[in-house]
Amino acid sequence: MPGNDMHIRILGAESLGVRGLSCVVKVEERKIVIDPGLALGYHRYGLLPHPAQVSVGERVRQKIIAELKDATDVVMSHFHGDHVPLPNANPYQLKAQQVAPLCRTIRFWTKGPDGLSYNMVHRRESLGKVLGRDLPNTEGQRDGPLVFSPPVLHGEPHTHLGTVMMTRIEDEDTVFVHASDIQLLDGKAVSLILDWQPNIALVGEPSLQDSPGGQSEHSQ
């Protein structure tokens, strides 16, 4: 927990095969939950997740739900199944219907439709309906200690994975940057992080779990 004012707690970050990059940041009078989602490899190579994975996933899910109960803000960097609650969640993800009652008064900061596939645009719309909330495009915007990036690549160029939104949060002592799934493979995203001059950066790097024949939650 760096600084006098900012407090950062990692909720789930690629632990025992539980995918996601969720965290909560407390700064000033705000409690900001970023990327409240998770996923496990589901039917990877025809196999269900290991019980140890299921146990860790359940702990991550319960931590996210607990933090949403008194959150003031939620940030969604993009709409893959390991980063947001899902209207059609499988048993190892977070159901949007489960957290919808907790989200009635929370401020939402979400990636816009630019760089999203047709399926992800549809998921964005469906998620907003289940939550009963407008999910505004906040790319490039600023609000108090929060700054959001324009769209940056989800990994390498010329893939089907599209773009994501990064977040910068600042107090008097600390600059924290959250960058899901950029994988540090695109110069534009890396340059922006350097320009933001973070003390702490939580960055999604290349996944060791994606391999030929495996099923990535990025496509779900």
Domain of 12: which CATH number? 3.60.15
- Residue ranges making up the domain that contains 159: 7-204
What percentage of the chain carries pLDDT values higher than 90?
Answer: 75
Q: Does residue 119 belong to any structural domain of this protein? A: yes
Other beta carbons within 10 angstroms of residue 126's beta carbon come to 15
Q: Does residue 122 belong to any structural domain of this protein? A: yes
Residue 215 has pLDDT above 70, yes or no: no
pLDDT at 4: 57
Q: Does residue 143 belong to any structural domain of this protein? A: yes
Q: Does residue 218 belong to any structural domain of this protein? A: no
Q: Does residue 209 belong to any structural domain of this protein? A: no
Q: Does residue 155 belong to any structural domain of this protein? A: yes
What percentage of the chain carries pLDDT values higher than 70?
Answer: 90
Q: What is the pLDDT of residues 75-129, one digit of tens each?
A: 999 999 999 999 999 999 999 999 999 999 999 999 999 999 999 999 999 999 9
Q: What is the pLDDT of residues 47-63, one digit of tens each?
A: 888 899 999 999 999 99
Helix (H) or strand (E) holding 202: strand 200-203
Q: What is the pLDDT of residues 139-163, one digit of tens each?
A: 999 999 999 999 999 987 777 889 9
Q: Does residue 67 belong to any structural domain of this protein? A: yes
Which parts of the chain fold into alpha helices (H)?
51-68, 96-99, 118-131, 187-196
Name the nearest CA neighbour of 96 among 104, 80, 85, 106: 85
Q: Out of 12-26, 132-146, 204-218, pick the least confident.
A: 204-218
3-6 long-range contacts, CB within 8 A, separation 24+: 3/171, 3/172, 3/173, 3/174, 4/171, 4/172, 4/173, 5/171, 5/172, 5/173, 5/174, 6/169, 6/171, 6/173, 6/174, 6/176
Rounded to 5 degrees, what angle do the CA atoms 7, 202, 158 make?
A: 150
What domain count does the chain have? 1
123 in Cβ contact with 135 (< 8 Å): no
Q: Does residue 194 belong to any structural domain of this protein? A: yes
